[in-house]
Amino acid sequence: MWRSVGRLADGREIFYYDESPDQRRGAAADHRPLDPFSPSARLRHDPLLDEWVTIAAHRQDRTFLPPPDECPLDPSRDGRRTEIPAADYDVVVFENRFPSLATPRGGAPAADPGDPGLVSRPGVGRCEVVCFTADHDASFGTLTPHRARTVIEAWADRTTALNRMPEVQSVYPFENRGEEIGVTLGHPHGQIYGYPFVPPRIARIRQSAERHRARTGANLFDDVVAAERKAGVRIVTETEHWTAFVPSAARWPYEVQLSPLRRVPDLPALDDAQRADLADVYLALLRAFDRLFDTPAPYISAWNQSPVDEAGRPDPDFGLHLQLFTLRRAEHKLKHLAGSESGMAAWINDIAPEDAAQRLREAAGAP
């Protein structure tokens, strides 16, 4: 994998990850008449939950479901200029034009006026778009293992870079697939968020791990994987380096946790063997999800990585894992977050995890 770096017309960074050393796509010039990149976002503190909420009103104007011939994630070809100036690409990452979080270039954001009910701070951070392929009609599940490995290398490389940013505490690579999820661009792509705080899910996981360590002296991530491997009934697939299982208390109708057998805190810490194996097992899982129903599965693929300390170092006791789930519970039915889930964060699942694991095993083994 070879990386080259360029700049878009408004100053945003773009990174090309090529599978051939002959390419120098970072040199492609962006001639669009764009205004300088100057996003504005604020973080507001919820005192009841002790959580940060991002207010990013500028995102109301982001591109929404354009026709295929106007997709901004396609390469720039035939006189049509897009977010990617090059005429072709393998994998590309660039700063989001409509980010939820961004660090302004030059000058501190304006302070909020005095308000006794408001605690806020600048919405600094980083939001990047990851395009998996130049093929508009593809999906991650249709990629070759070689291309999937290139995406993995890009995830790891950008995680390392964002972890070094002083404003970033937690890096989150993810993919939303399907309009049912809320996807606004059909081109196969994902995103990477660099949060200036530890997001609630990761914070709760760390607290659980600390309590488990105090109670048992053992590592929670290791014990969960070992228990699922011993039980066996919720295992979807196992490889030399990875185990995929439906969590025993799964919240979503079809949900899988994918964990490396040798625990690492984040994607950069994976060795070559783990990365190569991940490319194959991840593709197998995505294809299994698409075999569950007659239509492609709308899904969220969420990498859970360790936050970093002030020196950019991850917690060695944290366990990297992937959370992959679909909202579809039946052929024409979605799992909606209704009163209990949305109002009280108390989840109700209509499908037993053991049944979901059986269906996913069958789908993973299908030709």
Residues annotated as catalytic (active site), given as ranges: 189
For residue 142, give the DSSP letter: G
Q: Alpha helices of 217-315 — where are they, by DSSP H?
A: 220-231, 272-291
What residues have CB less than 8 Å from 357, skipping those under 6 apart?
Answer: 233, 234, 235, 236, 245, 246
The backbone torsions φ and ψ at residue 153, rounded to the nearest 5 degrees and listed phi first, read: -65, -40
Is the distance from CB of 40 to CB of 105 less than 8 angstroms?
no
Q: What angle do CA 331, 290, 238 make, to 5 degrees?
A: 125
Residue that is written with structure tokens 């899982």 in the block: 285
CA–CA separation, 176 and 183 (whole Å): 6
What the block records as the tokens of 107 is: 């000058």
What residues have CB less than 8 Å from 163, skipping those under 6 apart?
Answer: 171, 266, 268, 308, 312, 314
For residue 180, give the 3-state DSSP assignment.
helix
CA–CA separation, 349 and 246 (whole Å): 13
Is the distance from CB of 342 to CB of 336 less than 8 angstroms?
no
338 to 139, 223, 347, 353, 356: CA distances (angstroms): 30, 32, 9, 20, 21
Is the distance from CB of 23 to CB of 70 less than 8 angstroms?
no
What the block records as the tokens of 34 is: 């764009």
Task: From 177, 31, 25, select the one nearest 91 (Cα to Cα).
Answer: 25
Task: From 118, 124, 125, select the one nearest 46 (Cα to Cα).
Answer: 118
CA–CA separation, 178 and 182 (whole Å): 7
